[in-house]
């Protein structure tokens, strides 16, 4: 960090907040990114953790409630709902419901869509009384673009295709 200038040594300290930094050879993102980009990263992390760990954690919670607490009835009610709801995918899914609309409309999904970025382009009108099989290519391992466009309302699916 020393430079020779006119025969004297000049000390130039490293910048206080470098653009990127390394720890153990791993290069990390800059510390000061815009809040929007941080929110996009949190949204992507939320989705990947819920996709990878959600089922395992829910199963562990239900087993804990059933075997080690007095709230065993919650596990029984959930298991009853799972059996009742097992054929929903073959009956066209859940078309309406405030809970589904509420979760699909979370603001976090817009940040999630912008992280990649995924875009939904309408090329044809679809009959709202029909079921459709939607495809996304190239989709990658976890189909993040399909989730952002079709699984959530982050790309505005409900406004492009009302009903």
Q: What is the pLDDT of residues 117-144, one digit of tens each?
A: 888 888 888 888 887 887 777 777 778 8
Is a pLDDT exceeding 50 seen at residue 1? no
Distance CA(139)–CA(79), nearest Å, equals 33
* pLDDT value of residue 95: 67
Distance CA(156)–CA(149), nearest Å, equals 7
Smallest CA-to-CA distance from 47 within 156, 158, 152 is with 152
Range with the poorest average pLDDT among 20-29, 141-150, 151-160: 20-29
* pLDDT value of residue 162: 80
Report percent pLDDT > 70 for the chain: 86
Is a pLDDT exceeding 60 seen at residue 158? yes
* pLDDT value of residue 12: 63
Residue 160, CB half-sphere, CA atoms under 13 Å: how many?
Answer: 16
Q: What are the tens digits of pLDDT across the range 95-104?
A: 667 887 888 8
Q: What are the tens digits of pLDDT across the range 5-37?
A: 565 666 565 554 557 667 787 777 777 778 888
Q: What are the tens digits of pLDDT across the range 65-82?
A: 999 999 999 999 999 998
- HEC profile of the chain: CEEEECCEEEECCCCCCCCCEEECCEEECCCCCCHHHHHHHHHHHHHHHHHHHHHHHHHHHHHHHHHHCCCHHHHHHHHHHHHHCCCHHHHCCCCCCHHHHHHHCCCHHHHHHHHCCCCCCCCCCCCCCCCCCCCCCCCCCCCHHHHHHHHCCCCCHHHHCCC
The pTM (predicted TM-score) of the whole model is: 0.69
Across residues 137-154, what is the average pLDDT? 81
């Amino acid at each position: 960090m020393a430079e020779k200038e006119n025969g004297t040594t000049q000390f130039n300290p490293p910048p206080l907040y470098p653009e990127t930094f390394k720890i153990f050879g791993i290069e990390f993102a800059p510390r000061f990114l815009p809040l929007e980009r941080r929110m996009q990263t949190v949204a992507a992390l939320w989705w990947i953790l819920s996709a990878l760990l959600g089922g395992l954690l829910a199963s562990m919670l239900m087993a804990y409630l059933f075997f080690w607490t007095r709230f065993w009835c919650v596990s029984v009610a959930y298991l009853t709902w799972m059996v009742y709801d097992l054929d929903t995918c073959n009956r066209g899914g859940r078309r309406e419901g405030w809970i589904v609309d509420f979760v699909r409309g979370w603001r976090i999904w817009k940040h999630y869509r912008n992280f990649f970025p995924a875009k939904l382009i309408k090329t044809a009108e679809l009959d709202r009384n029909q079921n459709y099989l939607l495809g996304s290519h190239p989709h990658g391992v976890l189909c993040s673009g399909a989730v952002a466009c079709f699984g959530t309302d982050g790309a505005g699916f409900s406004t492009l295709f009302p009903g």
